[in-house]
Amino acid sequence: MDPNLSRLLIIDLSSKTFRIEERTSLFEERIGGAGVAIRLLHEFCPKGTDPLGPDNPIILAVGSLSALFPLASKCVAMFKSPLTGNLGESHAGGRTATSIRMAGFGAIVITGKSSQPVYLSITHNDVQFLDARSLWGMARGDTIARIIRTIDGNPGTRTILRIGRAGEQLVRYAAVTSETYRHFGRMGLGAVFGSKLLKAIVISGDAAIPVNNIKGYRLLYDQIFDAVTKSPIMKKYHDVGTAVNVLPLKSLGSIPIKNLTTSQLEKSDQLTGEEFVSNYLARRLACSHCPVSCIHLAQLRTSYPHDPYFFKTTSVCYDYELIYSLGFTLGIANPKQVLSLIDEIEGTGMDAMSSGVVAAYVTEAMKNGLITSDMTGGIELEFGDTSSYMQFFKNLADQQIPFYKNLGKGVDYTSQLYGGSEYALAFGKNEMPGYHTGLAAIIGYLTGARHSHLDSAGYSVDQKPKQSTPEEIATQLYNEEAWRQILASLVICFFARGVYSEEMVQKCLEVSGISKTIDDLVLLGKQILYEKYQFKFREGFSFRNMRIPSRITTHPSGTGLISEKDIRKGIETYENLLLSSGTGPAQSE
């Protein structure tokens, strides 16, 4: 195994010191990424820690295939989530994984709290703690990256992670952005950065990565490269991008529209991936080591209201989730207006999915008189009214009005205060993603360890023709999620999951110097999942007291009405499977 992979960098922001530890057996046993990160989270995060206190660690981990194989292009972040109060896990692309690996580390742990705003510059054997006071409070997050890249690291091989003002203001769903368009979006890593006065991290290095058998490596590489560049599954991400999902999901009535109050959005013909490509797509980008290039950038041209000869032209990154959360669910059918909202959110550094769901809830709650314009600082939200949403998101990121401080804690929390929890669309306290496809999606949101639609892909189970029982669905989701722990440990982009079969993963590991059988890997996936739940239970999570917003069961999904009884049955099956896989002392109440 590459000796650099097992190097763990531990940084303490309080004392501005760092140390490097060799963790060979941990990396050999856990293959990297999520598997290593969850162990480190157990080790570094004391029980009951305040997620915004100095003890909450930020863990960044890469896998044994990072910078070796195509599409092993993600980095895993783990921390205690300020949004859910339990497991915080988020994955981002860009160059982060490559840069960490080339800086000669398998994982980085950041603890403590700086006494003043700081940014970190990490290289092979050094960590610099640099003054970030003049970067703190800047209006737009992308300005920070622009400044840092002129002063630090080698262009092309460095990564720049940074937060925006929402992270500084501790919005619990603030994101960390890498390479301008990739995000550790969900679960509030941005707020954890903010709580530590950590504005940004630059990582660069040029360590080579040894392989076991160069000939075997090249052959295997070519096999994967060919599969990825020719595979029909990847074509969809490559051409139109994930926004290609709009049309099929819309025709099934599976997109949550106007906070899931309707299944149709009038005049939304323009709001499709195909229309974005023909009218707005300006450039496509890729993460480091990904030939697919699924990142779609639109060109947005906005005129200045009082000077028709001045324009602001911005590149805005869009995908399916954003079109859902800042378009469909807010009742906005005009693509240009959706792009301008994406740009606004991007500037604040908030998670676009959570922000959109929060805004949709407030819109409905205002209609029902639970929230008034006295509370919002004079803003009246109405579905379709882009300019009010624009102002609303500004206020939300700035956190200057008390009402927005509550909203900044998430829609689950907010609805406990103001009511309307039946339509506060969060699962396990994480705001809903853009798939109301059916029972499997909902069971997946509730049972997935990080409450993400990518944990077990229930939305895709729903779109298969076969109707299954809740028990069958739960079993399928559990097995899928357990295997995804292996992909998340390596850390392979889930878009390439079709290419990285069990056999393929096993062979790739072999040339990178780790031998495991497929059975070992399947078991390891279950163990990692179990350990994630051990952490969740430790921090008070329970399957039994999960809130299910009743809107989910009263508004038909793409496959018809879902019953709460079926959802609960699915959760119970999942819980039994999980607990029976465990070896250690993890008990749900």
Partner 1 sequence: MSTRRLAVIDANRCVGCQCCMFACNRRLGVGGLSRSAIHISSVGGISRGFSVKVCRACEDPPCADVCPTQAMKRRDGGGVKFHQDICTKCGSCMNACILGAITWDNENNVPIVCIYCGICARYCPYQVIELEDISGEM
Which of 23, 289 has the CB closer to partner 1?
A: 289
Which helix or strand (DSSP H or E) is residue 27 part of?
helix 24-30
Shortest CB 489 distance to partner 1, Å: 18
Which of 260, 292 has the CB closer to partner 1?
A: 292
Shortest CB 349 distance to partner 1, Å: 17
Chain position carrying tokens 């960590």:
127
Which of 319, 364 has the CB closer to partner 1?
A: 319
Note the residues at the interface with partner 1 (CB under 8 A). 67-68, 70, 98, 101-102, 145-146, 149, 155-157, 179-181, 206-211, 214, 217-218, 221, 225, 229, 283-293, 295, 297, 315
Long-range Cβ contact pairs of 44-52 (< 8 A, separation 24 or more): 44/109, 44/111, 45/79, 45/80, 45/535, 47/538, 47/539, 48/539, 49/80, 51/79, 51/80, 51/81, 51/82, 51/85, 51/88, 51/188, 51/191, 51/192, 51/195, 52/82, 52/170, 52/191, 52/192, 52/195
Which of 70, 558 has the CB closer to partner 1?
A: 70
Contact 355, 393 (CB under 8 A): yes
Which of 277, 548 has the CB closer to partner 1?
A: 277
Which of 34, 508 has the CB closer to partner 1?
A: 508
Shortest CB 1 distance to partner 1, Å: 13
Burial 272-294 (b: 16+ CB within 10 A, else e): bbebbbeebbeeebbbbbbebeb
Residue 237 — φ and ψ, nearest 5°?
-70, -35
Residue 180 — φ and ψ, nearest 5°?
65, -40
Which of 504, 579 has the CB closer to partner 1?
A: 504
Chain position carrying tokens 């991008």:
241
Which of 212, 262 has the CB closer to partner 1?
A: 212
The single-letter code of the amino acid at 97 is A
Shortest CB 217 distance to partner 1, Å: 7
Which of 49, 143 has the CB closer to partner 1?
A: 143
Which of 229, 400 has the CB closer to partner 1?
A: 229
**What is the Cα Rg of the chain in Å?**
22
The sign one gets for the Cα dihedral 467, 471, 474, 480 is negative
Cα separation of 138 and 134, whole Å?
8
Shortest CB 156 distance to partner 1, Å: 3
Question: CA 114, 120, 123 angle in degrees (round to 5)?
Answer: 140
Which helix or strand (DSSP H or E) is residue 396 part of?
helix 386-398
Which of 214, 561 has the CB closer to partner 1?
A: 214
- Residue 168, token pair as written in the block: 């500084």
Cα separation of 299 and 279, whole Å?
9
Phi-psi region of 344 (alpha: psi -120 to 50; beta: other; left: phi over 0): alpha
The single-letter code of the amino acid at 22 is E
Q: Are strands 182-184 and 176-178 parallel, antiparallel or unpaired?
A: antiparallel
Contact 76, 488 (CB under 8 A): yes
Shortest CB 109 distance to partner 1, Å: 22
Contact 8, 106 (CB under 8 A): yes
Shortest CB 207 distance to partner 1, Å: 6
